[in-house]
């Protein structure tokens, strides 16, 4: 499965305002729910918050990938936002987060969830992609950047 398949226009935001980590998590769940595949936003938020209590999902370089496994979805669901400004997310490198994903997966099976987390992490490890995402001005810009990056990186 490709990230581009999950990131439809309705689940991408550019210039998303967020006051803090909790506000961002809520906004990301709401964004993911716009795609229609989240059946219980409260349960989805709870799963993400529970995972976040174990360890931050702020992976560094201004990127966070909050995620959780929940009965609130039947299949993988993702959303992505370029934040209006960086926020403190308790990231591993201490840098403010400005690029944020959310990934929600069903309780079972675990494989697709883990593979998509790995795919996102590998993509976001690319300096040029992060730079270009910061400069994105529209949802279509973001989708085009991910499509190009996936083609380059995974030879799809």
pLDDT at 106: 95
Position of tokens 């938020």?
45
pLDDT of residue 155: 58
Catalytic residues: 67
CATH number for 149: 3.40.930.10
Q: Is the peptide bond before 96 cis (omega within 30 degrees of 0)?
A: no
Structure confidence by residue, pLDDT tens digits, 88-107? 999 999 999 999 999 999 98
Pick out the chain residues at pLDDT < 50: 156
Structural domain span for residue 79: 3-154
pLDDT at residue 156, as a whole number: 46
pLDDT at 78: 97
Q: What is the pLDDT of residue 124?
A: 96
Domain count, the chain: 1
- pTM for this predicted structure: 0.94
pLDDT tens column, 53-68 = 999 999 999 999 999 9
Q: Is the peptide bond before 152 cis (omega within 30 degrees of 0)?
A: no
């Amino acid at each position: 499965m490709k990230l581009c398949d999950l990131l439809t226009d309705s689940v991408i935001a550019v210039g998303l305002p967020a006051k803090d980590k909790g506000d961002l998590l809520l906004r990301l769940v709401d964004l993911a729910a716009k795609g229609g595949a989240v059946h219980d936003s409260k349960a989805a938020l709870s799963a993400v918050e529970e995972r976040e209590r174990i360890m931050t999902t702020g992976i560094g370089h201004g990127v966070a990938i909050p995620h959780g496994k929940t009965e609130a979805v039947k299949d993988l669901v993702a959303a992505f936002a370029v934040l209006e400004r960086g926020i403190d997310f308790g990231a591993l490198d201490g840098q403010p987060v400005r690029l944020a994903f959310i990934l929600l997966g069903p309780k079972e099976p675990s494989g697709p969830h883990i593979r998509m987390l790995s795919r996102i992490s590998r993509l976001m490890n690319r300096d040029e992609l992060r730079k270009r995402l910061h400069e994105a001005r529209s949802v279509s810009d973001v989708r085009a950047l991910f499509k190009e990056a996936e083609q380059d990186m995974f030879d799809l």
